[in-house]
């Protein structure tokens, strides 16, 4: 039986990766949040990179081991970051498939139901107003940390405490807040499921509380402050940071996860189908709602640390368990038959395949399933930029990452004056960065109306070396590919 489960896990990885990637609109190197995580990892390998942007990168990088972890992997494997990040992306999906399969083979009676779960998990969707998607179209440390957490949940249900510890430790090397929520989940689950360990767990909890108090008074003291109106205004467009402003529909959806979990749990309990540690898994997951409530109370006074922890992301864990339970309810229920499970699995696989095909062929017909490098004119421009001195500074459209698919920092490995979306997001961790981003956006103004004299002035004021734009300007042209021009500013 164990061999069959391992074979199922291995056979499920490739189709899950393909379905998940298609439903995410294809893998893209350097997209979205990798505009921060990528440069942080690159700097861990080559400390000479980003001499000007170091304060901005450090505002978040010093809170995580991700850059050191990926840096070590890069040095041990390949210095080619496009290949490395593709490998880490595929590892993320593989671990998620393994964790889901390990969980499904315990909760479900039929392999078809586990196949249905994998198909359901391949249907990428947003966790409402949390700033989180269940899948991403690029490597994200948060996603890999979640996958390790999912493996820890499956290991806990099976009674493998060592597997729980290994999963959580692996997650901790990548993304601290995702790990924190899984630690709460597994800690409460262990407390509920193992009475003989409650004294030890209570002592560990008390020790953790002491560490929290020490950290708040020491390393995190700059974060145990009240965000002032200027700071809040600089990050106001990041609405996922402020649950108190959620509309009623968001509350209904996110709290609805808990209702689904409780309803299916009670249904399973009524028919004597609960596994020995299943109650612990459910109570631990629901405990995250209590953690969220405590954090939201601190949002009321605008405590910086409470906002920076982004507690709305706990609903990602509830989303996961709700899907696991809903698949059981659809494919099996208390009176399971293999025919019902097979029909459910084939239906969900068909839905996932059809949706993935629609996304790739209709919504994004020009996008390949796997885009490993930076394509087109932007790729050629940023490749040329890598030949410039490592301390060169660049001015680009503040929205260039959205316009071209990846940022100057990520694609060219060079400092950039301002990148609106990610610099503003990093500003939630550091007031100085938030104010710097605001001021630089104001200094640039309407980028498309930027005149040569104003570009030269910005270059002189801020030590900028190159301007990249599609505008035809009377400035010294350094490089051009298609409509994208690179001008020297000094």
Q: Residue 343 contacts by C-beta under 8 Å, 6 or more apart in sequence?
A: none
Q: Residue 231 contacts by C-beta under 8 Å, 6 or more apart in sequence?
A: 304, 427, 431, 434, 435
Integer Cα distance of 150 and 388 in angstroms: 43
Integer Cα distance of 223 and 357 in angstroms: 45
The number of angstroms, rounded, from the C-alpha of 175 to the middle of its chain's C-alpha atoms is 9
- 77: tokens are 């494997």
Under a CB-based contact definition with an 8 Å cutoff, are residues 312 and 296 in contact? no
pLDDT beneath 50: ranges in the chain: 1
Encode pLDDT of 283-338 as tens digits.
Answer: 999 999 999 999 999 999 999 999 999 999 999 999 999 999 999 999 999 887 89
Integer Cα distance of 172 and 178 in angstroms: 8
Integer Cα distance of 243 and 313 in angstroms: 11
The ranges assigned to domains in the chain are: 2-30+80-363, 376-488
Residue 5 pLDDT = 58
Integer Cα distance of 148 and 154 in angstroms: 10
Residue 7 pLDDT = 66
Encode pLDDT of 127-183 as tens digits.
Answer: 999 999 999 999 999 999 999 999 999 999 999 999 999 999 999 999 999 999 999
Please choose, from the candidates 161, 197, 139, 158, the residue with its C-alpha nearest in 3D space to the C-alpha of residue 20.
139
Please choose, from the candidates 407, 480, 343, 342, the residue with its C-alpha nearest in 3D space to the C-alpha of residue 50.
407
Residue 184 pLDDT = 96
The count of other CB atoms within 10 Å of the CB of residue 366 is: 4
């Amino acid at each position: 039986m164990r061999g069959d489960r391992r074979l199922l896990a291995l056979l499920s990885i490739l189709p899950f990766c393909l379905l998940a990637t298609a439903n995410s609109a294809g893998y893209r190197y350097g997209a979205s949040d990798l505009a921060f995580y990528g440069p942080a990892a690159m700097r861990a390998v080559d400390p000479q990179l980003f001499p000007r942007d170091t304060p901005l990168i450090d505002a978040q990088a010093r809170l995580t081991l991700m850059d050191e972890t990926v840096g070590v992997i890069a040095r041990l494997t390949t210095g080619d970051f496009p290949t490395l990040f593709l490998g880490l992306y595929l590892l993320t999906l593989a671990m998620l498939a393994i964790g889901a399969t390990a969980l499904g083979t315990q909760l479900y009676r039929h392999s078809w139901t586990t196949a249905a779960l994998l198909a359901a998990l391949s249907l990428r969707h947003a966790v409402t107003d949390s700033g989180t998607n269940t899948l991403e179209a690029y490597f994200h440390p948060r996603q890999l940390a979640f996958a390790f957490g999912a493996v820890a949940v499956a290991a806990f249900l099976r009674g493998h405490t060592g597997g729980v510890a290994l999963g959580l430790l692996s997650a901790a090397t990548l993304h601290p807040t995702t790990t924190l929520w899984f630690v709460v989940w597994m800690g409460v689950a262990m407390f509920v499921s193992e009475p003989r360990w409650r004294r030890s767990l209570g002592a560990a909890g008390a020790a953790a509380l002491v560490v929290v108090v020490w950290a708040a008074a020491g390393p995190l003291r700059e974060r145990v402050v009240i965000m002032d109106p200027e700071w809040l205004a600089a990050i106001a467009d990041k609405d996922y940071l402020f649950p108190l402003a959620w509309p009623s529909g968001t509350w209904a959806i996110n709290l609805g996860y808990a209702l689904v979990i409780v309803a299916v749990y009670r249904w399973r309990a009524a028919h004597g189908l609960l596994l020995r540690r299943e109650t612990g898994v459910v109570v631990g997951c629901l405990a995250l709602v209590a953690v969220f409530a405590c954090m939201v109370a601190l949002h009321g006074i605008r405590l910086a640390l409470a906002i920076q922890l982004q507690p709305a992301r706990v609903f990602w864990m509830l989303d996961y368990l709700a899907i696991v339970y809903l698949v059981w309810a659809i494919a099996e229920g208390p009176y399971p038959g293999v025919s019902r499970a097979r029909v459910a699995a084939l239906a969900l696989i068909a839905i996932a395949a059809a949706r993935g095909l629609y996304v790739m062929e209709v919504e994004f017909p020009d996008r390949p399933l796997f885009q490993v490098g930076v394509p087109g004119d932007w790729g050629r421009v940023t490749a040329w930029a890598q030949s410039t001195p490592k301390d060169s500074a660049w001015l680009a459209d503040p929205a260039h990452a959205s316009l071209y698919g990846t940022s100057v920092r990520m694609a060219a490995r060079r400092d950039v004056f301002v990148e609106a979306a990610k610099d503003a997001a990093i500003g939630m961790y550091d007031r100085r960065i938030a104010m710097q981003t605001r001021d630089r956006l104001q200094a640039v103004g309407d980028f498309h109306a930027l005149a040569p004299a104003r570009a030269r002035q910005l270059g002189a004021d801020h030590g900028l070396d190159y301007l990249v734009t599609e505008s035809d300007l009377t400035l010294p042209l350094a490089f051009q590919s298609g409509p994208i021009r690179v001008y020297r500013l000094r």
